[in-house]
A and B are shown apart, each in its own frame.
Chain A
Amino acid sequence: MKKQTAVEEKKHKLTGGDLVLSISCYIIFTFCAILCVYPFYYIFINTISANDLSAKGAIIWYPVGIHFTNYIQALHIDGLARATQISVMRTVIGTGFTVCASAFLGFMFTQDKMWGRKIWYRLVVATMYFNAGIIPWYLTMKNLHLTNNFWGYILPVVVSPFNIILTKTFVESVPKELQEAAEIDGAGVLRIFFQIMIPVIKPIMATVAIFAAVNQWNAFQDTLLLVTDTKLYPLQFILYQYLNQASSLSSLANTSSSNSLAAAAAATQQTATSIRMTITIIVVIPIMLVYPFFQRYFVKGIMIGAVKG
C-alpha cells in the first residue's frame, strides 16, 4: 500500500520540476557536445572546400566546391613527410620502451625479496612530486648529449612513475598463488614475468600504451627545449611553426583579409590557411581514430591511478 503511493508520488513529481531538469540537461549537454565537435568539423570542411573561399573565411557550416587536393599536396609540403616519420617513430619506439619498462618495474616492485625494494620504489615515485625545473633539465640533457638527438625524446620518459603505479596496483590484484606455484616448479623471476605475468597484465599494458602513445604524439615541449635540427622536428612542431608564421602575418595585416585573398588565386592552389588547416587535421586524425575505441582503457587507467595516485 505504502509502496504504491510512493510510485504514484514519483510519477507525479516527474511531471513537475523534474521535467524542466531533464530538458535543461539535454539542452546544456547538447551545447557542450557542439562546442567540442564543431571546431574539428569547421577545420575539416575548410580543408576540403575551395581554397580561395576558405582563405576568405567563407566556409562556416558546410563545404563548398569539395576537393581533396590539399591532402595530396600536403605530401609535398616542406619537411612534412620527415616530421610524420619522426612523430610515428617516437610514438612507436617511445611507447614500446615505456610499456615494457612499466610492466617490468610494476612487477618487480611487488617482489618482496628484492634488496631495498621499498627505497627504490619511493625513489621512483617521489619524482612525481618534484622536478628540478626546465633549465637544469635542459642543461643535463645537453651534458648527456641528448640535445638534437632522437633519443632525447625517448629516454627521459622510459621510467614513468604514474604508469608504474598503475601496473603495480594491477599486479597486486593478481592472485599470489600464481607466482608461488611457478616458483615451486623452479621458475626464476624473469621467466615468471615473461611467461606468467605478461599474459595476465595485458589489459593494463594496453592502458599504459595508450597513455604513452598519446603523450608521445602530443609532445611539443621537449622539441622546443632540446632540438634545433629541423630534421628531428615532429608534426606538432611543424604545425606550431606554421601557426606562428600565420599569427605574425595576421597581426601585420591588421585590417583586412586582402593579403590572404591575393595569395589564393585558384580554388585548389594552396594557401597559408589551407596548409595550416590540413596539417591540423593530419595531426588530429590519429587521436580521433584511436580515442573512441580505447576510451575504456583511459577511464580504467585514471580510476586505478586515482586509488593510489
Chain B
Amino acid sequence: MNNNTAARKKWNSFKLFLYILPFIVLVLLFSYYPLYGWLYAFYDYRPPKPFSEAEFVGLKWFKSLVENPIKIAQIVQVMKNTFAMSGLTLGTSWLPMLFAVFLNEIRSVKFRKFIQTVTTLPNFISWVLVYSIAFSLFNSTGMMNSLLQGIGVIDTPILFLQTTEHVWFKQWLWLTWKNLGWAAIMYIAAISSIDEELYEAARVDGATRMQIIWHITIPSLLPTYFVLLMLNIANFLSNGMEQYYVFQNAFNKDWIQVLDLYVYNLAMGSGSYSVSVALSMLKSVVSLVLLLVANGFSKLVRGESFI
C-alpha cells in the first residue's frame, strides 16, 4: 500500500516533467545543439560540401587569426571599433540616470508622462526603421541638407551617412536616441521608491533642490546604476550586429565593423565559416569570463550576485 503511493507520487512528479518536455526539447535544439557547431572551428568546412567530408585542421584557424598580418590589421581595427562603441556606451552609462533625476524635477505630471511616452518610443522600433529615419533626414535630399542649403551654409549636400568621419560618434548618437528614454525608466521607478521622509527632512534643513538631488536622489540610485554597469561590462564584446549591419556601407565599413558584425561578414560575406566560428568561440569565452568577473565584483561590493 505504502509502496504503491510512493510509486504513484514518483509517477506524478515525472508526469509533471513530461508536460514540459516538449519545451525542454526546443531549448536543447535551439540553444544547446548549436554549440556543437563550435567543432567547425577545428575543421576545414567549405559549404556546400557536407561537414562530414571536411578535413580536421586542429588550431589552424585560431593561428590564422594571429599569423597573417592582413588579418591581424583587420582584427585590430574591428577590436578598436568594438572598444570604441562599448567604451562610449560605458562612459555615458550615467546619462539615463541623469535623465530620470531631472525628469523627476518636473512638477507637471502630464508633461512628465508625455516626455516619458515620447522618449521611450524609439526603443520599440527596429534598427531598420532607425536607419530609414536616419536616411530620410540625412541623405543628400534629406531634411538636414535642405535646411543647411536653404540658409546658405553649404552649396553641395553633405553625405552624412556615406563618410568615414565620426562613424563611432554618430552610431553612439543613434544608439542613445533609441535607448535613452527606455533606460531611464528603471531609474524613474527607483526614484519613486525613495523614502519621502528623507526629502522632507532635507527640506526642513533648508536644502536646495540641487543639494537634494546631489545628496539624496543620486546616492539612492547608485545601487541600480552599479548593477546595470556590471551588466554593461559583461556585454562589452556584444554590441549586436543589427545596428551596424543596417548602417554599414562601402564608405564607413572599416569604422563600423564591430566584432558581432565582423563574425557575420566573415561567414556570410566571404564564406570563411570556420574562421568566423573560431572567432565567435573566442568571443564567447571572453564574454563568459567578463560575466563571471562582473558578477564576482558585484558580490564583493554589494554582497549580491546578478546572475
Chain A residues with CB under 8 Å of chain B are 2-3, 6, 9-10, 13, 16-18, 21-22, 25-26, 28-29, 32-33, 35-37, 39-40, 42-43, 46, 55-58, 60, 101, 104-105, 108-109, 111, 113-117, 120, 123-124, 127, 129-140, 144, 155-156, 158-159, 189-190, 214, 217-221, 224-225, 236-237, 239-240, 243, 246-248, 250-251, 253-257, 260, 273, 276-277, 280, 283-284, 287-288, 291-292, 295, 298-299, 302-303, 306, 309
Residues of A with C-beta under 8 A to B2: none
Does B24 sit at the interface, judged by CB under 8 A?
yes
Decide if A250 touches B208 in the complex (CB within 8 Å).
no
- Chain B residues whose C-beta falls within 8 Å of the C-beta of A302 in the assembled complex: 185-186
B91 interfacial by beta-carbon distance below 8 Å:
no
Q: What is the minimal beta-carbon distance from B36 to any residue of chain A, in angstroms? A: 7
**Interface residues of B, Cβ cutoff 8 Å to A:** 9-10, 12-14, 16-17, 19-20, 23-24, 26-27, 29-38, 40, 99, 102-103, 105-107, 111, 114-122, 124-129, 131-133, 135-137, 139-143, 145-147, 150, 156-157, 159, 161-162, 177, 180-181, 185-186, 189, 203-204, 206, 208-210, 241-242, 245-246, 249-251, 260, 263-264, 267-268, 273, 276-277, 280-281, 283-284, 287-288, 291, 306-307
B295 vs chain A, min Cβ distance (A): 10
User: Which listed residue, A28, A35, A240, A306, touches B102 by the CB 8 Å rule?
Assistant: A28
Q: Does B16 lie within 8 Å of A113, measured CB to CB?
A: yes
A192 to chain B, nearest CB (A): 11
Q: Is the CB of A273 within 8 A of B125?
A: no
A133 near B242 with CB under 8 A, answer no
Q: How far is the CB of B7 from chain A (nearest CB, A)?
A: 13
- Sampled A-B contacts (13; CB under 8 Å): A6-B203, A6-B204, A13-B208, A21-B209, A32-B119, A33-B118, A132-B34, A134-B260, A140-B29, A246-B139, A251-B162, A280-B129, A309-B306
Contact B124 A291 (CB under 8 A): yes
A108 CA to B267 CA, complexed, in Å = 40
| Contact pick for B267, options A60, A135, A248, A298, CB 8 Å | A135
Which residue of chain B is the closest to A113 with respect to CB atoms?
Answer: B13
The answer to whether A251 touches B209, judged by C-beta atoms less than 8 angstroms apart, is no
Cβ of A158: which chain B residues have Cβ within 8 Å of it? 23, 26
Q: How far is the CA of A104 from the CA of B21 in the complex (A)?
A: 12
A136 touching B38 in the complex, CB below 8 Å, given contacts A17-B210, A55-B141, A221-B242: yes
Q: What separation, in Å, do the CA atoms of A147 and B146 have in the docked complex? A: 43
User: What CA separation (Å) do A130 and B237 show in the bound complex?
Assistant: 13
